Every structure is written in C-alpha cells, then in structure tokens.
Homo-oligomer: A and B are copies of this chain.
Amino acid sequence: MASSTVYKKYQSKCDYSYTLGAFPTIELLKNKPDKVIKILIHPDMDSEEQLDILNELCNKNKIELCKSKAEVERLRDKENIYCIGIFNKYDEKLKDSKGHVVLVNPGDMGNLGTIIRTAIGFGIDDLAIIEPAADIFNPKAVRASMGALFQLRFRRYASFDEYESENKGREFFPFMLKGATDLQMLDKSHVDKYALIFGNEATGLPDEFANKGTSVLIRHEKTIDSLNLSMACGIALYEFTK
C-alpha cells in the first residue's frame, strides 16, 4: 500500500488497522514488523526513551517513521495519543502446539484483549476465533490486549467445523454451564494436545458442544448466573498449564 494513501478513522471493513499509543506500537514493531505500513509521530511526543526505541525499530526494519501532527490528531481517539502504528491486517496458521484457546462468537473487545493477555501469560500462544465475533483488529481490542495481540498466533474461522478440520488430533474441552466434568475433578494427566473452547458472553456455547470431547464446568454458587467469559477462560488456562 503506497504511503500516500489517506488513512481514515478505523472501520472494521478496512484492510489495515492502528495501534494507538507508543506501548502497543512498540509491541507491533517488535513482533510483526513485516505487517507495518508506517509509524506516525506527533511533534508533541516528549518521551526520548520511547522515541529512541521507535527510531531504532523502524531503522532496523526499514519502516517509514513520519512526523505528522495532523494525521495523528485525525486518527487518534484520545488526546494523550502521540504515536500511531498503521499495519496490514493478517491471519496466521495456528501451530500444532500443546494448547489452543478457541473463542466461539466472542462479542466484547475488552474480553478479547484480556483473554489474549492472559493466554500468553500462561504460555498459550494459539488462538482461534469463530466468527461472527468482535473485531480483534479494532484499535480498542489491540489496546485492551496491551499489545499482546502481536505476540500470539490467531486465526479467524467461519465455523467451528472449519477449525476442527484444520486442527486435528487434539482433545476438545468445551466450557459450559451444563459441562459434564467439574474442572477441579478433571484428570488431565493423559491429555496431550488440547483446545479450551468458550462461547459468547451472553449465550455461552450451543448445546451441541456437549458432544465434542469432554465438556467442563467451573463450579460456582447459584448466587451468580455465570462467571464472566475472561474469568472463566483465565481459570481454565491456569488449571491446564499448571
């Protein structure tokens, strides 16, 4: 894409997106330099340390770094944003690693970000998203992940079947309120490769997932309807990566 393109405020139909702020922009440059189109710096940016890192990473990867007050001010969503990374959206093949997280129709960008951060925190670097789903490339989701998005592999699938056919030889653990096995009681000693599967925030997983592998319940009191999605996912990740 020519750098003379006029970039607009983010829309999900764009084939590019933004990192808003120095922190996620540095994570982008460190982890996905080949996806970067260019970096924009506002002249009021005053952190010498961050500027040095940005300059170094751009030089090393031959990425254009432009000072542009007008462009940063047009694209940012908060006044305290002085650095923006523009990058091409991408999809990656998941690795046949030990653990996958599969989110079926996640609806909330904040949850997506928190789950991504927690997943890499527990060493799980492969994420499948079954569409329709919240837009993982929305700058708000990128921000919620605090840049962790660029540290894992993720792939969007049109259906769970598509995920399943592309990722064979893996035990499925759908987390459901009707789960047959209590997470605390689950014997994971024989488990080789696994997929932890979670449904939408409001509706959970469809009933048919009860027949896919071993359905799991995180037991809780009846005082609440359910744990929130990112919490359930974090607890499952903690337990499976012990």
Contacts and interface: CB of A to CB of B under 8 A. Distances in A.
Interface stretch (A59-67, A96-104, A219-227): A219-227
Interface stretch (A10-18, A158-166, A186-194, A228-236): A228-236
B122 A220 contact: yes
Nearest to A185: B242
A118 interface: yes
A38 interface: no
Contacts of A121: 220-221, 223-224, 227
A26 B122 CA distance: 38
A221 B238 CA distance: 12
Contacts of A117: 224, 228
A123 B118 CA distance: 24
Contacts of A148: 223-224
A184 interface: yes
Contacts of A214: none
A114 interface: yes
A114 B151 contact: no
A57 interface: no
A104 B214 CA distance: 39
Interface of A: 114, 117-118, 120-123, 146, 148, 151, 184, 218, 220-221, 223-224, 227-228, 230-231, 234-235, 238-239, 242
Given A120-B221, A234-B234, 4 more contacts: A117-B228, A148-B224, A151-B223, A235-B235
